[in-house]
């Protein structure tokens, strides 16, 4: 059976406006572009993993309007199993309002809509699917009780758990030791650990029971921290960025796919760095997410920063 990943997922429709630079409080400006695009950290990571050629299943709760159908159609096109996606009558879908600036960076406000109702019971209904997978991943856009339930099932059945702690928020004490791999960016790591120094912040979270921390560092790549092992830095890629929406999700999804294949750490992080770099080459979260062969060709071309 081919490697398989389950994502406890958020689904959002992204309303993306392109403007020159961040707004001041109370300021209005004219946007130069506007798009309505698929998003949600969970759905994005699931698509990134599916494009890396592993089987992907979603556990999610979505609304029953046209935006919910947009998600179902997208997942079907990507070959993602949506058997455990629940449609809730009369509820709106998750929506993200996103401002993208000239340099490709962004600000995002997420309203979770029907996703806020994803519960431990929804996750437990998918226990058989979770048991068959190699990796279970989630982000902090879904209720933490749903993630906790999924990671408890995963731990019982030796399935690797991966959490993208975005948006960063305080996590329950009981969740930390259930996390095999955590993928924060620098700011998220600092907020979670309440510590500005990256090495010390990672050490603090490892002491809470996290198995491994992969800090994403933009075009500088990433750094892997594990208990009692020297940190491993893996170089990133210098690319001309169009927008960075979903780059962290692409990293998480590609890493999940590599770990599901039992790829050694260094190679897995190289692949995730390359997939994330390529994802910044077109507008929106999923447009430029690479297939496995695109990612391998890019790695072979050698654009690394270190
Ligand atoms: O990480 C990018 C994603 O964050 C966007 O797609 C948006 O939906 C928010 O979830």
* Domains annotated on the chain, with CATH: 4-23+32-301 (3.40.1190.20)
pLDDT, residue 305, reads: 64
Q: What is the pLDDT of residues 96-112, one digit of tens each?
A: 999 999 988 899 999 99
CA of 228 to the centre of ligand 1 (A): 34
Task: Assess whether pLDDT exceeds 90 at residue 235.
Answer: yes
Task: Assess whether pLDDT exceeds 70 at residue 306.
Answer: no
Count of other CB atoms within 10 angstroms of residue 170: 10
CA of 91 to the centre of ligand 1 (A): 20
Q: Indicate if ligand 1 lies below 6 Å from the C-beta of 253.
A: no
CA distance readout (Å), 54 to 95, 295, 304:
27, 14, 25
Question: Which residue, 129, 136, 166, is CA-closest to 151?
Answer: 136
Tell which atom from ligand 1 comes closest to the C-alpha of 37. Answer: 6
Sign, CA dihedral 197-203-205-211, equals: positive
Q: Which residues are catalytic?
A: 249
Count of other CB atoms within 10 angstroms of residue 95: 19
Token pair belonging to 58: 């979603």
Provide the CB-side half-sphere exposure for 35 (13 A, CA). 19
Q: Indicate if ligand 1 lies below 6 Å from the C-beta of 188.
A: no
CA gyration radius for the chain?
A: 18
Question: Which residue, 6, 5, 1, is CA-closest to 257?
Answer: 5
Q: Indicate if ligand 1 lies below 6 Å from the C-beta of 71.
A: no
Tell which atom from ligand 1 comes closest to the C-alpha of 98. Answer: 7
- Residue 98: strand pairing partners: 16, 108
Nearest C-alpha to atom 9 of ligand 1 is from which residue? 40
DSSP state of 11: -
Helix extents (H) in 92-180: 120-124, 127-131, 144-156
CA of 245 to the centre of ligand 1 (A): 7
pTM exceeds 0.85, yes or no: yes
Tell which atom from ligand 1 comes closest to the C-alpha of 13. Answer: 8
- Residue where the block lists tokens 């690479």: 290
Average confidence (pLDDT) over 202-225: 97
Contact 298, 52 (CB under 8 A): no
Q: What is the pLDDT of residues 276-302, one digit of tens each?
A: 999 999 999 999 999 999 999 999 987
Average confidence (pLDDT) over 214-240: 95
pLDDT, residue 87, reads: 96
Cα 44–Cα 222–Cα 59 angle in degrees, nearest 5: 25
């Amino acid at each position: 059976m081919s490697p398989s990943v389950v994502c406890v997922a958020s689904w959002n429709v992204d309303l993306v406006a392109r403007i020159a630079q961040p707004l001041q409080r109370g300021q209005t400006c004219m946007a130069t572009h506007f798009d309505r695009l698929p998003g949600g950290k969970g759905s994005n990571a699931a698509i990134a993993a599916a494009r890396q050629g592993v089987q992907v299943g979603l556990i999610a709760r979505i609304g029953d309007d046209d935006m919910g159908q947009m998600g179902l159609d997208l997942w079907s096109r990507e070959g993602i199993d949506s058997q455990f996606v629940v449609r809730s009558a009369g509820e709106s879908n998750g929506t993200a309002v996103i401002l993208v600036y000239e340099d490709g960076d962004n600000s995002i406000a997420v309203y979770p809509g029907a996703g806020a109702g994803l519960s431990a019971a929804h996750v437990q209904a998918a226990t058989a699917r979770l048991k068959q997978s190699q990796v279970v991943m989630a982000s902090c856009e879904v209720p933490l009780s749903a993630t906790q339930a999924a990671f408890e099932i995963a731990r019982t059945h030796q399935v690797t758990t991966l959490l993208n702690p975005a948006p960063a928020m305080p996590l329950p004490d009981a969740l930390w030791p259930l996390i095999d791999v955590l993928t924060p960016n620098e700011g998220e790591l600092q907020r979670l650990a309440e510590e500005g120094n990256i090495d010390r912040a990672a050490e603090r979270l490892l002491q809470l029971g996290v198995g491994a921390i992969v800090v994403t560092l933009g075009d500088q790549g990433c750094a892997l921290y594990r208990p009692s092992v020297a940190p491993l830095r893996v170089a990133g890629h210098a690319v001309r960025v169009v927008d960075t929406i979903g780059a962290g999700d692409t990293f998480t999804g590609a890493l999940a796919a590599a770990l599901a294949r039992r790829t050694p750490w260094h190679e897995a992080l190289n692949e995730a760095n390359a997939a994330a770099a390529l994802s910044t080459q077109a507008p929106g979260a999923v447009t430029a997410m690479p297939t496995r062969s695109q990612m391998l060709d890019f790695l072979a071309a050698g654009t690394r920063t270190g």
